[in-house]
Structure 1
Amino acid sequence: MPLPTKLTLEVVTPAGLLLREEVDEVIAPGALGYFGVLPGHTPFLSTLGAGEITYRRGAEKSHLTCFWGFSEVLPDRVNILAELGERAEDIDVARAEAAKARAEAALKAIKDEEGYREAQQLLVKALTRLAVAHRRRVP
């Protein structure tokens, strides 16, 4: 059987379908590091961390945020179930900057380990949103 030449990328969050597109390549934030997928990839499942999903159609790259979840990779598709996700063009940069400032202030004031982890996750989320928003504006 011939190998597929494209991948269908589908990203779903609890809010609904975020993206369904035919792409040439996907890079996603696995819990143990980023992984890349090309058409014909060996099937696997992975947990996802917080980070950026980059997908390519020809020479054009696009970006999404992805915060925790699961991925299923098949030879002709990548299915991502994320707790949260956002397209680069939908990110409110001012809101993300404010969230970053709040998270940094919370990190300085926290005294217990659990509160520290929560504030750290909020900071990672804000920094990821800002990085993805910036990539949309810079070719």
Structure 2
Amino acid sequence: MQLDVVTPDKVEFSRPVESIIAPAWDGYIGILPGHMHLLTNLQTGVLTIKDEGEEIRMAVREGFMEVTPTKVVVLAEAAEMAEEIDVERALEAKRQAEEMMARSTEHITLVKAQARLQRAVNRLKVARYKENGLKGTSGAENERRAE
């Protein structure tokens, strides 16, 4: 099936794949060729792409996913392949979000800080998949090993 991952800036990924696991709003969902039509919100999380026996991971930030039997389109606010993630920048963003949470006195500030922290942690998780060479095992096992 064809997978297109699109952000406001560019097409991040576009090619045929065997399957994907996407961070749908209410939990992760697996998509195989022939899947029924579906439109769902995406949350910040790890998009796992299986292609020619290899698992490719992308950090995605909120958006939508449209599924047809032959094509999946992911429209995300941001999407990064593991090798594109600047780990130092992500660590700094995590530190800043934690500081913001610690000193926040308003609910809206706390919510924004939590969202920033979630994005930074997600980016670090995807970068660690690449660093640790986590391939070929289950997504849940890789999640535990990457943390």
SS at 2:76 equivalent: strand
> Matches of 1:73 and 1:113 in 2, distance apart?
36
TM-score (norm 2): 0.88
User: 1:1-139 alignment to 2 at 5 Å?
Assistant: 7-139=1-133
SS at 2:34 equivalent: coil
Q: Which runs of 4+ in 1 moved over 3 A?
A: none
Structure 2 unmatched runs, 5+: 134-147
> Matches of 1:31 and 1:84 in 2, distance apart?
16
Letter in 1 for 2:109: G
* Aligned-residue offset at 1:87: 1.1
- 1:4 maps to which residue? none
Q: Which structure has the highest strand share of the two?
A: 1
SS at 1:68 equivalent: strand
Letter in 2 for 1:95: R
SS at 2:123 equivalent: helix
RMSD between aligned residues: 0.7
> Matches of 2:96 and 2:84 in 1, distance apart?
21
Per-residue CA distance 1:48-104 (angstroms, 9 max, x = gap): 111010000132000111111110011111101001111111000010011101101
Letter in 2 for 1:64: M
Q: How many equivalent residue pairs? A: 133
Structure 1 unmatched runs, 5+: 1-6
TM-score (norm 1): 0.93
